[in-house]
Amino acid sequence: MESASPKGPSAAAREVENLILQVALRDRAAFKSLYDRTSAKLFGVCLRVLTDTAEAEDALQEIFVKVWDRADRYQANGLSPMTWLITVARNHAIDRLRARKSAAGGGMDEAVDIADGAPGPEALAIASSDRGRIVECMGQLEPDKADAVRRAYLEGEKYDELAARYSVPLNTIRTWLRRSLIKLRECLSA
């Protein structure tokens, strides 16, 4: 599990990055390898967000079409490869979920692309690498507030939905979530 050193990217991350760069050069074999290595993690994310197998399968297919289409932009974004892939997947799944709920709102699609891991310890190592501090920092927030951040990230809930969920006015939820995010950021950079 400990394939990532805090000093730099793990060998596994480098391999995923190389695959993405080859995909940018329209290398189909590399695309299949990237799919084999990362589709299980991404599918897990789709299932978590969409909670519907058929919809998660559709989303995963669309996500890999995006990965193929946008791989050439990857190198410029400064994100680690699994972060890029997972964020593409998460944002796409959230967009789908919001479309299903027909909630108005800006698409997340512009914000990033995603794809992640493969089954097995290697993928888990990629996914956890040297991040993970956020989990610790979330633990320092009040449970309700940590829960709201999680819901926004993994369930795409917006301020109006969160306000209804916690039975507080919109402005109140906005203020307390923003404060929580600032606290989270302070903890993360500590």
Partner 1 sequence: MMDEPDMDEQEARIAEYALGLLSPQEAKAFEDAMAGDAVLRASYAIWVENLVSLTDDIAPVAPPASVWSRTEAKLFAADPGRTKPSLLRRWGLAPVGFVGLAAAVAFAVFINIPVQSPPFNPAYHAEVVSEDGTFVVQAGFDPATATLRVIREAAEPRPDRVLELWVIAGDNPPVSLGVLPEDQTVDLPVPVALQGAVQGGLLAISDEPPGGSPTGAPTGDVLAVGPLTLL
Footprint of partner 1 on residues 14-43 (CB under 8 A)? Answer: 14, 17-18, 21-22, 24-28, 32, 35, 39-41, 43
User: Are residues 56 and 43 in contact, defined by beta-carbon separation less than 8 angstroms?
Assistant: yes
Instruction: Pick one of 52, 154, 165, 166: the residue that binds partner 1 (CB under 8 A).
Output: 154
Give the max Cα distance, the chain. Answer: 52
Which pairs count as long-range contacts for 173-176, CB under 8 Å and 24+ apart, including other chains?
173/148, 176/145, 176/148
Cα-Cα-Cα-Cα dihedral sign, residues 43, 47, 53, 54: negative
How far apart, in whole angstroms, are the C-alpha atoms of residue 154 and residue 71? 24
Q: Is 144 in the site for partner 1 (CB under 8 A)?
A: no
Which of 100/150 has CB closer to partner 1? Answer: 150
Instruction: Pick one of 8, 102, 143, 167: the residue that binds partner 1 (CB under 8 A).
Output: 8
Instruction: Pick one of 3, 52, 55, 158: the residue that binds partner 1 (CB under 8 A).
Output: 158
How far apart, in whole angstroms, are the C-alpha atoms of residue 27 and residue 31? 6
Q: Is 101 in the site for partner 1 (CB under 8 A)?
A: no
Q: Is 60 in the site for partner 1 (CB under 8 A)?
A: yes
Q: Is 45 in the site for partner 1 (CB under 8 A)?
A: yes
Residue 50 DSSP SS3: helix
Instruction: Pick one of 5, 51, 69, 101: the residue that binds partner 1 (CB under 8 A).
Output: 69
In angstroms, give the least distance from the CB of 167 to partner 1.
19
